[in-house]
């Protein structure tokens, strides 16, 4: 009973934050609400006793990706749009239709799946050791692929950042001798 | 002295026993929370006055010595001052975010105390992924720094916040990397299990704490440096350096909100110090079996105080690092050393079964040698060197 | 080696920390106002008047020539001459000031009044912690036992110091500025000797002829050329 109340509460907060993340005017507010939505997701994982995934979600999403979004917003100064101007275009109807399509595509299979009728799991939650063992034996190939992908992304970021810096080396030649030293009169421009 | 050792646990059990069974989980949680807040709140007050007096002594002066005997009531005076100050919020500031930022900083930091084992059977929660919880919570408080800086609508505060976040995310990498060998050695992410894994004595009577291994010593150093940077502590206190950006991201905060930031920073320091004690110094364990008469939480307090004194000592000694020096230090020096530390830890671990005479010395030699190489080489390569002679350009 | 400087720094701060508990050199704080550092001899704040002997009125060196009041750039000295004359240390009849006020709120401590005074009667004081309360003045004057009685009820508590506040004995001056006081005292003693010698040479010697030794006349003859012809 307490579990259900907790679930509804967390789900309501997550949904509200997610809606706010797209509906608010100030872009930084949207980013912060998105971070709150990530935290809500993490709490849902924790409510399902998935400790590792929950904390990893917090660490990665709230600790890194939210900050990345915020930095991107700030460095591009994209939040300087006039607040209060609502853009309504004829394609918004198509947008709503597409959204409904996607929602039904996700919701219908979930609602009609047999997993809803399964009894709740009574076995203990997977300890982290088990996750580690599985990652190193059964899922080692996806782990290594993810590692390679992340390394490539990191290296690419460093390369891009390095290339953008212009070469500003000081001119190593000594400055030209002043004409006044040779005795001539220097006329100032 | 088992009774004294378990005094907090047994008191908590007794008090929960007095309440009806339906609310007992809540009551035990509330007791743990109240206990932690009381202890670490007092610790915060004591730490501020100790820091100021120790800093003073190291700088050839007295610390505060007017309020109360030896200035011991100074935290009370500071507290009263912070509370009665006017709460100024800039007119163009974002009021909601400005209000939430101190909360967003302090709440995750209080949460971090829940997993630290302060004594035998004395961690509030024994999470299976305890250390991951700790790091996740730590990274959640970085967003609060950004919120503080941005909501003030002050370009200096924003700059300070950017620098603070850059510093914090850069130093999270060495922090986590330095603690990975500990997890490998303990075989678990749960903090009480890590403390248990440092049980017993190794050859020569030295306890089996992680700090007495080559990778543990290096990891301890790396962890302490990264911890100082994570909690914006000198020599990494550029974000709040008063001579640099007024008060950095705290510029527009006054009164109680500033006190909350201050509290959050110190509590973050305490949490990370507690983690360092747990990971590297054997947690609540006594160094030798003969010293077991002191309760486990007393040993934790002793080690904790020693590390806090070390932080204060470092603050008194070292000048502040500039931002580019800071970031270079993290990425180009600490991260490679932490990775080498991993290798050293693996070799140490794998050679743990060696029993021939001189095995310990050989393992130590290998570990220290493998670490010393990158240390010296990187140290030389990253040194600034003499700047180029200034090219004078005359107006023609 | 990387980190060597840091280790040396740690040793230094550790030495400071431990040494501050027993070594005076490692704890250089002076806990004002319980302990005050003595000012240097040349330190100066605002002026005071000197009197010789015990009586502040009779021994006052000031002759109300008003040079200091004229030279003061801030015009903070107010002098009103008295009518009665009295003899100074050389025997000459001099005026006295009836009113001598210095507004130390205006005074900028330049010391010009002390430089130009021909009678060495106004010199610079060293009181730096003067507050307009009786309690503090009592404390600030306490450090020099001059026998002065300045802190009676009804005394001047404003920042316009009057003659009775400004007049301090020569012993106080000697305490504050020993070198300068020694020089001034020696100069005054020298002038007094010259004046007495001149007086002795001017009046014919009434002593018996047995005492008029050639040494005495030779001494008188040797002094005569050096006497200023200020007749």
Q: What is the mean pLDDT of residues B212-239?
A: 89
Of A67, A129, A175, the CB nearest to B393: A175
Residues of C in contact with B58 (CB under 8 A): 13-14, 16-17, 20
Would B385 be classed as within a structural domain? no
Q: For residues B135 and B192, what is the distance between their CA atoms, to the nearest angstrom?
A: 16
Cα–Cα distance for residue pair B6/C105, rounded to 1 Å: 69
Give the domain-ending residue among A41, A62, A79. Answer: A79
In a domain, A143, yes or no: yes
CB pairs under 8 A between B and C: 45
Predicted confidence at residue C115, as pLDDT, reads: 93
Q: Is residue A114 part of a domain?
A: no
What's the per-residue H, E or C state across chain C? CCCHHHHHHHHHHHHHHHHCCCCHHHCCCCCCCCCCCCCCCCCCCCEEEEECCCCCCCCECCCCCCHHHHHCCCCCEEEEECCCCEECCCCCEECCEEEEEEECCCCCCCCHHHHHCCCCCEEECCCCCCCCCHHHHHHHHHCCCCCCCCCCCCCCCCCEECHHHHEEEHHHHHHHCHHHHHHHHHHHHHHHHHHHHHHHHHCCCCCCHHHCCHHHHHHHHHHHHHCCCCC
Cβ-defined contact of B318 to C6 (cutoff 8 Å): yes
Quote the pLDDT of residue A165. Answer: 57
- What band does A176 get if pLDDT is binned at 50, 70 and 90? low
Shortest Cα–Cα distance, C32 to chain B (Å): 12
For B394, nearest residue in chain A (alpha carbons): A175
Residue carrying the six token digits 């202890």 = B39
Using CB atoms, list chains with 3+ pairs below 8 Å to chain B.
A, C
| Nearest Cα residue in chain A from B396 | A178
CA distance C157 to chain B (A): 29
C50 close to C170: Cβ distance less than 8 angstroms: yes
Q: Are residues A1 and A75 in the same domain?
A: yes
Domain holding B79, by residue range, is 11-84
Chains C and A touch (3+ CB pairs under 8 A): no
CB contact under 8 A, C2 and B61: no
Q: Quote the tokens at residue B56.
A: 């003073």
* Structural domain containing residue A17: 1-79
Shortest alpha-carbon distance between residue A115 and chain B (Å): 27
Same domain, residue pair A73 and A132: no
How many other CB atoms are found less than 10 A from the CB of residue C111? 16
What DSSP assignment string belongs to A74-108? HHHTTT-SPTT-----THHHHHHHHHHHHHHHHHH
Q: pTM for this one?
A: 0.81
Indicate the number of domains in chain A.
Answer: 2
CA-wise closest residue to B299 among B231, B184, B198 = B198
> Are A65 and A138 part of one and the same domain?
no
C3–B318 CB contact, under 8 Å? no
List beta partners, residue C74. none
Q: How would residue C123 be classed by pLDDT, with cut points 50, 70 and 90? A: very high
Residue with the larger pLDDT of the pair B210 and A147: A147
Q: What is the ipTM of this complex?
A: 0.84
Chain C partners of B59 at a C-beta cutoff of 8 Å? 16
Residue from the list C10, C27, C31 with its beta carbon closest to the beta carbon of B60: C27
Q: Which residues contact B10 (CB under 8 A, 6 or more apart)?
A: B3
Question: Is the backbone peptide bond immediately before B152 cis, with ω within 30 degrees of 0?
Answer: no
**Mean pLDDT to the nearest integer, B140-162:** 84
| CB–CB contact B132 A64 (8 Å) | no
Task: Please check whether residue A101 touches B, CB under 8 A.
Answer: no
Tokens 């390679």 locate to: A148
Q: Out of 3.30.70.3270, 3.40.50.12780, 3.40.50.720, 1.20.1250.20, which CATH number does the structure's domain C47-181 have?
A: 3.30.70.3270
Question: Is the pLDDT at B256 greater than 80, yes or no?
Answer: yes
The pLDDT of residue C228 is 45
Question: What's the CA angle centered on A172, arms A167 and A177, to 5 degrees?
Answer: 135
Of the residues B55, B84, B113, the one at which a domain ends: B84
Rounded to the nearest integer, the mean pLDDT of chain B is: 88
CA-based nearest residue to C113, from C70, C164, C56: C70
Query: To the nearest whole angstrom, how far is the Cα of A68 from the nearest Cα of chain B?
Result: 10
Shared domain check, B80 and B93: no
CA gap A23, A18 in Å, rounded? 9
* Range picked from A105-114, B149-158, B231-240, C62-71 for highest mean pLDDT: C62-71
B74 and B164: one domain?
A: no
Q: Does A67 touch chain B (CB under 8 A)?
A: yes
Q: Is C218 exposed, middle or buried (0-12, 13-18, 19+ CB in 10 A)?
A: exposed
Which of B4-8, B301-305, C127-131 is most confident? B301-305
């Amino acid at each position: 009973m307490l579990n259900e109340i907790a679930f509804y509460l967390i789900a309501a907060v997550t949904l509200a934050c997610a809606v706010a993340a797209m509906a608010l005017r100030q872009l930084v507010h949207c980013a912060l609400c998105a971070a709150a939505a990530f935290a809500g997701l993490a709490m849902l994982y924790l409510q399902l006793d998935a400790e590792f995934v929950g904390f990893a979600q917090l660490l990665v999403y709230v600790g890194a990706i939210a900050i990345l979004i915020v930095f991107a917003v700030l460095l591009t100064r994209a939040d300087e749009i006039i607040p209060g101007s609502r853009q309504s275009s004829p394609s918004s109807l198509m947008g709503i239709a597409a959204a409904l399509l996607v929602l039904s595509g996700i919701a219908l299979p979930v609602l009609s799946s047999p997993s809803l009728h399964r009894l709740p799991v009574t076995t203990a939650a997977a300890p982290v050791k088990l996750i580690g063992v599985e990652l190193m034996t059964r899922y080692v190939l996806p782990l290594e692929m993810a590692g390679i992908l992340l390394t490539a992304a990191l290296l690419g970021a460093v390369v891009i950042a390095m290339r953008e810096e212009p070469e500003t080396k000081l001119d190593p030649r000594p400055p030209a001798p002043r004409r006044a030293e040779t005795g001539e009169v220097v006329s100032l421009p | 002295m088992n009774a004294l050792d378990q005094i907090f646990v047994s008191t908590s059990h007794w008090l929960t026993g007095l309440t009806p069974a339906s609310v007992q989980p809540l009551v035990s949680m509330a007791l743990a929370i109240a206990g932690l807040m009381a202890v670490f709140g007092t610790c915060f007050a004591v730490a501020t006055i100790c820091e100021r007096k120790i800093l003073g002594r190291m700088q050839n002066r007295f610390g505060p010595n007017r309020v109360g005997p030896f200035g011991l009531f100074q935290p009370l005076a500071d507290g009263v001052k912070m509370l009665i100050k006017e709460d100024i919020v800039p007119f163009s500031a974002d009021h909601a975010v400005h209000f939430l930022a101190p909360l967003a900083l302090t709440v995750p930091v209080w949460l971090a105390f829940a997993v630290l084992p302060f004594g035998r059977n004395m961690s509030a929660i024994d999470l299976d992924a305890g250390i991951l919880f700790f790091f996740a919570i730590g990274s959640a408080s970085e967003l609060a720094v950004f919120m503080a800086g941005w909501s003030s609508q002050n370009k200096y505060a924003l700059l300070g916040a950017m620098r603070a976040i850059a510093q914090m995310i850069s130093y999270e990498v060495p922090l986590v990397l330095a603690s990975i060998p500990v997890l490998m050695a303990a075989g678990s992410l749960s903090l009480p299990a890590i403390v248990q894994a440092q049980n017993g004595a190794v050859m020569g009577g030295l306890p089996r704490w992680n700090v007495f291994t080559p990778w543990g010593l290096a990891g301890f150093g790396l962890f302490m440096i990264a911890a100082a940077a994570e909690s914006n502590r000198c020599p990494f206190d550029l974000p709040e350096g008063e001579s640099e950006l007024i008060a950095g991201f705290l510029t527009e905060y006054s009164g109680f909100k500033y006190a909350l930031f201050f509290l959050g920073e110190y509590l973050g320091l305490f949490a990370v110090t507690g983690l360092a004690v747990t990971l590297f110094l054997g947690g609540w364990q006594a160094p030798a079996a003969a010293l077991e008469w002191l309760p486990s939480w007393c040993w934790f307090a002793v080690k904790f105080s020693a590390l806090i004194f070390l932080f204060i000592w470092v603050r008194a000694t070292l000048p502040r690092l500039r931002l580019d020096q800071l970031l270079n230090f993290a990425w180009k020096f600490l991260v490679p050393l932490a990775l080498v530390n991993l290798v050293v830890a693996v070799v140490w671990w794998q050679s743990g079964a060696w029993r021939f005479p001189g095995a310990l010395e050989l393992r130590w030699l290998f570990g220290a040698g493998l670490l010393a190489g990158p240390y010296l080489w990187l140290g030389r390569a990253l040194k600034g060197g003499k700047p180029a002679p200034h090219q004078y350009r005359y107006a023609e | 080696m990387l980190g060597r400087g840091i280790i040396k720094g740690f040793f230094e701060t550790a030495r400071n920390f431990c040494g501050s508990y027993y070594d005076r050199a490692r704890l250089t704080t002076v806990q004002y106002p319980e302990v005050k550092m003595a000012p240097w001899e040349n330190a100066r704040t605002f002026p005071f008047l000197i009197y010789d002997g015990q009586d502040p009125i009779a021994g006052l060196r000031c002759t109300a020539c008003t040079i200091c009041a004229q030279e003061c750039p801030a015009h903070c000295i107010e002098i009103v001459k008295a009518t009665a004359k009295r003899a100074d240390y050389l025997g000459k009849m001099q005026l006295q000031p009836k009113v001598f006020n210095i507004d130390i709120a205006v005074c900028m401590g330049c010391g010009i009044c002390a430089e130009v005074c021909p009678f060495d009667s106004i010199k610079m004081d060293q009181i730096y912690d003067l507050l307009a309360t009786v309690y503090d003045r009592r404390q600030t004057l306490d450090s020099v036992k001059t026998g002065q009685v300045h802190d009676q009820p009804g005394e001047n508590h404003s920042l316009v110091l009057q003659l009775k506040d400004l007049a301090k004995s020569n012993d106080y001056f000697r305490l504050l500025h020993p070198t300068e006081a020694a020089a001034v005292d020696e100069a005054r003693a020298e002038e007094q000797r010259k004046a007495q010698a001149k007086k002795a040479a001017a009046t014919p010697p009434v002593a018996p002829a047995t005492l008029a030794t050639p040494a005495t006349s030779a001494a008188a003859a040797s002094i005569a050329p050096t006497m200023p012809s200020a007749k």
